[in-house]
Amino acid sequence: MNWAPRSRRSFLRNGSIATVTALTQSVGFPYVQAADSVLLGQGAFRYRVVPGWGDLGPSTPVNDCHGLVVDREGHLILFTNETKNNVIVYDRKGRLVHKWGTRFPGAHGLSLVTEAGREVLYLTDLQRHQVIKATPDGKILQEWSLPQNTGKYPKPDEYRPSWTLHLPNGEFFVLDGYGRDYILHYGADGEFKKVFGGAEGGIVHWGPHGGMIEAPRSGEPTLLIAMSDQQHLLRMSTDGRALGTIPLPGGNPRQIRRVGDHYFVAHLGDNWPKDRNCRGFVSVLDASLRVVSNVGGTAPEYDSDGKLRPMAHREELFQHPHDLAVDAEGSLYVAQFASGRTYPIKLERV
């Protein structure tokens, strides 16, 4: 990051000066906080940063903050590859509820799923090459390594699962976003069913990073996948047929979260991977998947043909947004990768 600890900078935004302050965390790493006057986003989706939210100090450190979800009690659950405490549970005020986990050096994807009335977590670990199912308080329920019968992997360590997507009936899909770009389908009983995607399925590397399941009341469910370096979302059938793309030029979508009629997309950076120090932003899309706000980014613009013009970061706030969550009050939380060990950023909706 190009922010110095306790430095102060100003920049022009909408014809006025807004101040952004970089402070030093108690763990010794710089992080960015916007002043109260800074509004981020456009239209109905504008936010202010809550300074200092979630900073737990040296007793509860983070490394890369990868996964983020909100449970039924309104707690924020964070998945970080800091093995002193891989899973950190916050209350809405950013205070520690509890923490657990020392076994996940490659901590990455985090999904919260309700099964038989109880909430469970599905974790992915890039270094362990595994998917792990656990209770929110840390009891490991099941683990999945690469199935023996995929026929797609010359070496088991080529399998590096990034996220899981879940159907209402208990079936789920594993995205191999850091391996060979395949998608593995499992039954509700946890047994491997089939594999699709990959290069022969038309998925370009780097491809399926995160995503979600769209399960309408009528019609077939589909996979909506964040295609990271490809700068688009990919819609697929559950049997692997490509159904269309949603271009997000200038973005780098890493995860999608749907809240009501809107989709929230975390963009790692606006010039990644060419510039690995580039900053990112968060897009808000409406029900028709048109961008209506870029939080920390330029206002979305569509040309006369309905084509989205390239987007970019605007404020010097985010550094590699990787996942996000929205609470019941509409506040936005952003977990960041490779950002100087920053805790999640909370933004209150204005």
CB–CB of 111/165 below 8 Å?
Answer: yes
**199 phi, psi to nearest 5 deg:** -60, -40
**In whole angstroms, what is the distance from residue 22 CA to residue 8 CA?**
6
Share of the chain above pLDDT 90, in %: 85
Q: Which two tokens stand for residue 51?
A: 């300074």
Share of the chain above pLDDT 70, in %: 89
Choose among 210, 222, 330, 207: nearest CA to 265: 210
pLDDT of residue 160: 98
Which sequence spans correspond to the domains of the chain?
8-349
**In whole angstroms, what is the distance from residue 177 CA to residue 337 CA?**
16
Provide the CATH number for the domain formed by 8-349 in this structure: 2.120.10.30
**255 phi, psi to nearest 5 deg:** -155, 155
- For the chain, give the number of residues: 350
In tens, the pLDDT along 135-177 reads 999 999 999 999 999 999 999 999 999 999 999 999 999 999 9
What are the CA-CA distances from residue 327 to residues 14, 74, 159, 247, 347 (Å)? 29, 7, 33, 27, 11
| pTM exceeding 0.85 | yes
* Rounded mean pLDDT, 263-273: 95
Alpha-carbon dihedral angle through residues 88, 94, 95, 100, given to the nearest 10 degrees = 0
Choose among 155, 36, 193, 166: nearest CA to 112: 166
Q: At residue 16, what is the residue type?
A: S
pLDDT of residue 21: 34
**In whole angstroms, what is the distance from residue 128 CA to residue 157 CA?**
9
In tens, the pLDDT along 281-312 reads 999 999 999 999 999 999 999 999 999 999 99
pLDDT of residue 59: 98
Q: Which two tokens stand for residue 186?
A: 């499992």
CB–CB of 91/97 below 8 Å?
Answer: yes
Q: Measured on CA atoms in the order 256, 267, 300, 306, is the torsion positive or negative? A: negative
CB-based contacts of 154, cutoff 8 Å, min separation 6: none
Q: What is the mean pLDDT of the chain?
A: 90
Q: How far apart are the first and last CA of the chain?
A: 28
Lowest mean pLDDT among 1-15, 142-156, 209-223, 231-245: 1-15
pLDDT of residue 217: 83
**In whole angstroms, what is the distance from residue 48 CA to residue 37 CA?**
8
Does 35 or 316 have the greater pLDDT score?
Answer: 316
Long-range contacts of 197-201 (CB under 8 A, 24+ apart): 197/236, 197/240, 198/152, 201/240
In tens, the pLDDT along 173-204 reads 999 999 999 999 999 999 999 999 999 999 98
Choose among 278, 343, 281, 256: nearest CA to 64: 343
Choose among 210, 206, 201: nearest CA to 242: 201
pLDDT band at 37, cuts 50/70/90? Answer: low
Cα R_g (the chain), whole angstroms: 19
